[in-house]
């Protein structure tokens, strides 16, 4: 990288990826994953699962061959082909990934299998399985692998597809006052030079940038969990669910089953880096660890988490006063850790539930504060991360702008610029943030009404829409407390939730950019 010009790695050397090959490569990657699961099932003496996943891999290869013939010399001429490819991936890849689940009859029907795979690929973590003890290990591994792939896909899409369009949270960084900027974002596709590159070159560059750190974090989490006493198979699945902030767990009862402070600490040390934006990690590598302390998104996350922890712990403390148990120091420390873990878990849109959280509710005698957890999930993590939500930087900029407007009521003539860290945010960036938040609210309202039309209660429909759009699947079962979870909903409700997951992962601005008429004009 030189200056503000985006160049291909090593002077552009390497194998060029033709546009029509991108869907084919996705399908072949899916086939390789099924072959690995088939091998695992064979070594586990589960011949039925081994053959089913083998047939699924063959089917994926056949579909890839058909796609190669159909899309040859056609896909490259499609306008906005990056967004088209991303939307097609989230809609059609889960259908192919559902083949082994249907073959093994692990779920009731296609809608359930499709829901499970969409949830994994979009890193939402909503699951049909409410009794994992009867689910084959091959299926648990497969959905965990798809979740891990979905986390990597979201990062690559953020850098290679969303960033050049100044959406996905990048609108704040791209439209800042350049005179006040303290670091360059040229290597994150913020320049005009990057936008002129083909989507194929940007995807290849993003993969080279992200694949190794992503795998290192996943492997490190696996070894740390295994060293903490978690079985190897469960450690692998749990690590895949953590690094992708999906929240999938391989055992019934979730993380609370391990009842280990060390395990929960390892998970925290995995989901927090995964929910921090790629730009923050890149700047930290270039300028040292001190940049993490100065980074505005991390400060926003710390302020939000500690504020929620203080509020919820005070709530538990007041509840404990009424039950005359405030002298129990162990119960208070357990409640504090459980509250801290849950705050980080939901602000990263992972949705793990701490064993200490149940202890906190027992200590205070109060129910789960669903509104607080729902608010954390809505805000979400950093831009260009595996976390969902509206993103921390947008929420912070919006809050600062709102406070500035309130101050202008007393001083109408004052001019007070909005800063993100040391950088001044332009009016155009504020306008895009406002538009995104309004679109987010409208999407939640439409999804809630659609879910209530299927027979769900309004509160449950609202929680379900927020859980799907913020990609925080465990939020709804935690709030509703239903035994059946997502398995109790009708096929129509599942399809609505699937669409909401895709919109939430792609973000509403990307969907508007894809379907707007002006985007398709030459």
**Cβ atoms of 418 and 296 closer than 8 Å:** no
Measure the CA–CA gap between 153 and 355, rounded to whole angstroms.
31
> At 195, which helix (H) or strand (E)?
helix 192-195
Q: Is the pLDDT of residue 32 over 70?
A: yes
CB atoms inside a 10 Å sphere around CB 482: 14
Q: Is the pLDDT of residue 207 over 60?
A: yes
Q: Which of 151-155, 248-252, 413-417 has the lowest mean pLDDT?
A: 413-417
| DSSP one-letter string for 222-284 | HHHHHHTT--HHHHHHHHHHHHTT----SSTTGGGGT--HHHHHHHHHHHHHHHS-HHHHHHH
| DSSP one-letter string for 439-465 | HHHHHHHHHHHHHHHTT--HHHHHHHH
The pLDDT assigned to 431 comes to: 81
**What single DSSP character describes residue 167?**
-
Q: Is the pLDDT of residue 10 over 80?
A: no
Q: Where are the beta strands (DSSP E) in 346-438?
A: 418-420, 423-425
Terminal CA-to-CA distance of the chain, rounded, Å?
30
Read off the pLDDT of each residue in 241-267 and give the average, rounded to a whole number.
91
β partners of residue 425: 176, 418
What stretches of 366-490 show up as alpha helix (H) in DSSP?
Answer: 370-379, 392-410, 427-453, 458-469, 475-480
The pLDDT assigned to 395 comes to: 84
Q: Per-residue pLDDT tens for 178-190? A: 443 333 334 444 3
Dihedral over alpha carbons 504, 507, 513, 514 (to 10 degrees):
-40
* Residue position matching structure tokens 């259908």: 95
Give me the percent of the chain exceeding a pLDDT of 90.
39
The pLDDT assigned to 27 comes to: 92
Measure the CA–CA gap between 264 and 341, rounded to whole angstroms.
8
- When pLDDT is cut at 50, 70 and 90, the band that residue 327 belongs to is low
Q: Which of 137-141, 301-305, 309-313, 330-334 has the lowest mean pLDDT?
A: 330-334
The pLDDT assigned to 397 comes to: 82
- When pLDDT is cut at 50, 70 and 90, the band that residue 324 belongs to is low
**Cβ atoms of 355 and 362 closer than 8 Å:** no
Measure the CA–CA gap between 312 and 475, rounded to whole angstroms.
17
Dihedral over alpha carbons 116, 122, 124, 125 (to 10 degrees):
40
CA atoms lying within 13 Å on the CB side of residue 444:
21
Q: Which of 41-45, 151-155, 192-196, 362-366 has the lowest mean pLDDT?
A: 192-196
- When pLDDT is cut at 50, 70 and 90, the band that residue 23 belongs to is confident
Measure the CA–CA gap between 364 and 121, rounded to whole angstroms.
37
Instruction: Determine the distance from the C-alpha atom of residue 16 to the mean position of all C-alpha atoms in its chain, rounded to a whole number.
Output: 29
Q: Per-residue pLDDT tens for 432-474? A: 888 888 999 999 999 999 999 998 888 889 999 999 999 999 9
* Tokens describing residue 10: 């090593």
> At 78, which helix (H) or strand (E)?
none
């Amino acid at each position: 990288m030189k200056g503000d010009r985006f160049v291909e790695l090593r002077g552009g050397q390497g194998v060029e990826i033709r546009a029509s090959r991108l869907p084919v490569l996705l399908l072949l990657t899916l086939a390789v994953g099924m072959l690995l699961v088939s091998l695992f099932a064979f070594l586990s003496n589960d011949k039925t699962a081994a053959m089913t996943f083998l047939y699924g891999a063959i089917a994926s290869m056949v579909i890839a061959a058909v796609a190669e013939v159909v899309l040859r010399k056609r896909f490259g001429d499609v306008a906005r082909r990056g967004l088209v490819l991303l939307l097609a991936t989230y809609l059609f890849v889960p259908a192919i990934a559902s083949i082994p689940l249907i073959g093994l009859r692990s779920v009731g029907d296609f809608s359930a299998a499709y829901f499970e795979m969409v949830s994994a690929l979009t890193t939402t973590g909503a699951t049909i399985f409410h009794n994992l003890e009867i689910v084959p290990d091959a299926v648990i591994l497969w959905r965990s692998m798809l979740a891990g792939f979905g986390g990597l896909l979201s990062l690559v899409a953020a850098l290679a597809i969303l960033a050049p369009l100044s959406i996905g949270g990048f609108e704040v960084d791209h439209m800042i006052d350049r005179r006040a900027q303290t670091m360059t974002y040229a290597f994150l596709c913020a320049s005009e030079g990057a936008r002129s590159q083909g989507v194929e070159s940007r995807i290849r560059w993003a993969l080279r940038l992200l694949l190794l750190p992503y795998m290192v974090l996943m492997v490190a989490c696996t070894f740390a969990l295994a060293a903490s006493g978690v079985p190897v198979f469960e450690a692998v699945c749990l690590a895949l669910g953590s690094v992708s902030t999906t929240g999938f767990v391989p055992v019934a009862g979730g993380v609370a089953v391990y009842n280990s402070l060390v395990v929960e600490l390892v998970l925290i040390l995995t989901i927090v880096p995964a929910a921090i934006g790629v730009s923050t990690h890149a700047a930290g590598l270039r300028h040292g660890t001190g940049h993490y302390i100065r980074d505005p998104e991390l400060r926003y996350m710390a302020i939000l988490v500690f504020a929620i922890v203080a509020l919820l712990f005070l709530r538990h403390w007041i509840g404990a006063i009424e039950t005359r148990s405030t002298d129990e120091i162990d119960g208070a420390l357990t409640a504090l850790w459980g509250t801290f873990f849950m705050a980080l878990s939901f602000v990263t849109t992972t949705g793990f539930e701490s064993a200490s959280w149940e202890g906190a509710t027992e200590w205070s005698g109060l129910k789960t504060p669903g509104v607080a957890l729902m608010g954390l999930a809505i805000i979400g993590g950093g831009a260009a991360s595996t976390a969902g939500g509206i993103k921390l930087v947008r929420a912070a900029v919006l809050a600062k702008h709102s406070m500035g407007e309130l101050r202008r009521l007393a001083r109408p003539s004052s001019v007070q610029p909005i800063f993100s860290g040391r950088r001044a945010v332009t009016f155009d960036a504020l306008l895009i943030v406002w538009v995104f938040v309004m679109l987010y609210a409208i999407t939640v309202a439409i999804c809630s009404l659609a879910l209530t039309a299927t027979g769900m209660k309004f509160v449950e429909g609202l929680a379900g829409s927020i859980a799907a759009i913020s990609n925080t699947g465990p939020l709804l079962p935690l709030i509703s407390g239903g035994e059946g979870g997502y398995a109790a909903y009708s096929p129509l409700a599942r399809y609505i939730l699937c669409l909401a997951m895709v919109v939430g992962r792609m973000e509403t601005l990307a969907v508007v950019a894809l379907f707007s008429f002006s985007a398709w004009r030459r």
